[in-house]
Amino acid sequence: MLVSGLVGRIWTLRRDYPRLDDPEEFRNWSTAGTARVVFANWIEVDSSERSTIRAEARVESIGAQGRLGVAAVRGLVSAFGSLVGSDGIEIAARRAEQM
């Protein structure tokens, strides 16, 4: 499983994401007006030995301005999220089939 995350004002174009040095900093992040995002990717194997790539992202807004910022981009993420995520999945599936 691969788990990664970021914090900051994720809705800006300035890439306002502070650098965190360890997972504990991520867990303790509570700066008002920002958000905390975690991404997870993993493989599941079913009883017939077929593999499925899984991905999940979760967002937590912090404070009133954080809620406003996340709400501002929620429509974009809903509309285009599947398109962004599908590129990597399709490439990984093609490579796995070639092996």
Identify the pLDDT of residue 75.
Answer: 82
DSSP state letters, 43-71: EEE-TTS-EEEEEEEEEEEEHHHHHHHHH
Is the predicted pLDDT of residue 34 greater than 80, yes or no? Answer: yes
What total number of domains does the chain contain? 1
Identify the pLDDT of residue 19.
Answer: 93
| Domain span at 22 | 2-98
Identify the pLDDT of residue 86.
Answer: 59
Contacts of 72 (CB under 8 A, 6+ apart): 11
pLDDT in tens, 37-90: 999 989 999 888 888 888 888 999 999 999 999 999 888 777 776 665 555 667
Higher-confidence position of 67 and 95:
67
Q: Model-level pTM?
A: 0.72
Identify the pLDDT of residue 93.
Answer: 72
